[in-house]
Structure 1
């Protein structure tokens, strides 16, 4: 009799476990995607729309873009499992890795993100080098931005300047395009933003490089990636990685997606690529 009950209890536990797994799989009916708000919300939505449709076709499930108002909110939403896939900068990836106990998985990055740079800009003819920023009003992007704050701060400090002591004022514009607006309007004497957004603004005529010019380009570093939460279904993670890696610029529909993402192609990435950014964050006192 005892053996009979044990057998049935075991069968019950197995059925319960199978049922929980089925419910978990069933619950993943929509892929929830977001991105750090390093540009205006309307621009983020425009850039993601074709990619979202492509992922829906590749995954066979709905894909929803969830707008989040700030960088910290994206990290927290991933950690709280309210998001499944997020576009992060190198620094926000490091924060997400810490916040999730190391479980966040960086899937892919653009080929351009292997050697990413920031550009220091000004409309002041007297500013020609980082040394000339002493006593000036300066604009970073978001405090959590890799290319709009952390790495530029790192290189400024390597040049022997402390932004908090040596600049007249330090402002945070909140986004790369907003930093350009700060400099164009004279609200800041100089600022810094990532190379990709700068190039896009010049190409679209939203900034006149004859009036606002680049006076310093940083050394290269790893930056953006697409990251998933660590407990996402491994089969879904595999499909996602494959979908990004098979985007081919020779195919017109794929080229539209890649062009909007400012990517020549996507390549695999790994957490160790961002060790230098983590070290820079700790050196700047921005990470524990």
Structure 2
């Protein structure tokens, strides 16, 4: 009986060892949850299939519930690659020595945010930040969002000379861009700020009624989204692996994959491209 028990334990240990080996050979990535989770699963599931074919390894996408969770997963080596916004990418790079930005969308060096308002405010589009928003209810996206909080807040402070908490009657955080659009459109908030790509995509998909919610101001451009990879992937997956991942991302030409982001394509990126994000985050006391 004792021999049988030992044999079963040894078999179980071997099975766990094999399972662990399979898991260790899986290249895992995530992305900041800037839109509805079901959309992200479809979008990044397709990316996982593409990368697996290009890299010749098992690739898996795992969703996360927040921007902070994406950074934590990257720091803890639960994922080796992540699609970050400018600020979350900078946070990840600082937490994981040797990690680096390897690719960004063609549009990402000159990214924009849209200020949107409910029609009941009576505010019309203009080139300048609408000071008529003083005293209104305003929502950002995620607290760690570059396009939904960091850069718009910086530009709003420049325009008003005040913090959002002093300028508006109430300030909230919706969690993601899709939620911001829905909340302003419903009238739950008078105004909000969103990633211009998400706004334009939802407009094309018929999710926005411009008679109810409208874009009234556009921020100056700034660098934003990018792919960040850990510095130890070559040791784990083989020599030159990081370069191969970069080449695979830049090599995406499938219109379905690109439209899901949406991006025209991907181009090389480096950590230095995001120094403006570091400078802005420090100016807002969001980064040491």
Does residue 166 (structure 1) correspond to residue 167 (structure 2)? The answer is yes
- Give 1:125 shift: 4.0
SS in 1 for 2:258: helix
* CA displacement 1:14-70 (0-9 Å, x = unmatched): xxxxxxxxxx99874111110011111111111112221111100111111111111
Residue 278 in structure 1 maps to residue 278 in structure 2? yes
Task: Number of aligned residue pairs: give it.
Answer: 259
Residue 217 of structure 1 is matched in structure 2 by 218
Instruction: Tell me if the contact between 2:121 and 2:190 (Cα under 8 Å) persists in the aligned partners.
Output: no
| Counterpart position of 1:179 | 180
Q: Which runs of 5+ in 2 are unaligned?
A: 1-19
Q: Distance in 1 between matches of 2:64 and 2:230?
A: 16
* Contact 1:130 1:159 (C-alpha < 8 Å) held by counterparts: no
Q: Does the CA contact (< 8 Å) of 2:139 and 2:174 recur in 1?
A: yes
Q: CA RMSD in A?
A: 1.6
Residue 256 of structure 1 deviates from its aligned partner by: 1.2
**TM-score (normalizing by structure 1):** 0.86
- 1:239 aligns with 244
Task: Provide, for residues 212-243 of structure 1, a one-character-per-residue CA deviation record: whole Å limited to 9, x for no partner.
Answer: 10000001111000111121115221111111
* Paired residues for 1:19-34 under 5 Å: 28-34=24-30
Shift of 1:130: 2.9
Structure 2 CA distance, aligned partners of 1:26 and 1:238? 23
Aligned to 2:79: 83
- Give the corresponding residue for 2:88: 92
TM-score (norm 2): 0.86
Runs of 4 or more above 2 Å deviation: 24-28, 124-130
Q: How far apart, CA to CA, are the structure 1 residues paired with 2:46 and 2:33?
A: 18
Question: What's the counterpart of residue 133 of structure 1?
Answer: 133
> Which secondary structure does the structure 1 equivalent of 2:34 belong to?
coil
- In structure 1, the gaps of 5 or more residues are 1-23, 249-253
After the TM superposition, which residues 32-71 of structure 1 pair with which residues of structure 2 at under 5 Å, given as runs? 32-71=28-67
Q: Give the structure 2 partner of residue 7 of structure 1.
A: none
CA contact (8 A) 1:182 1:188 kept: yes
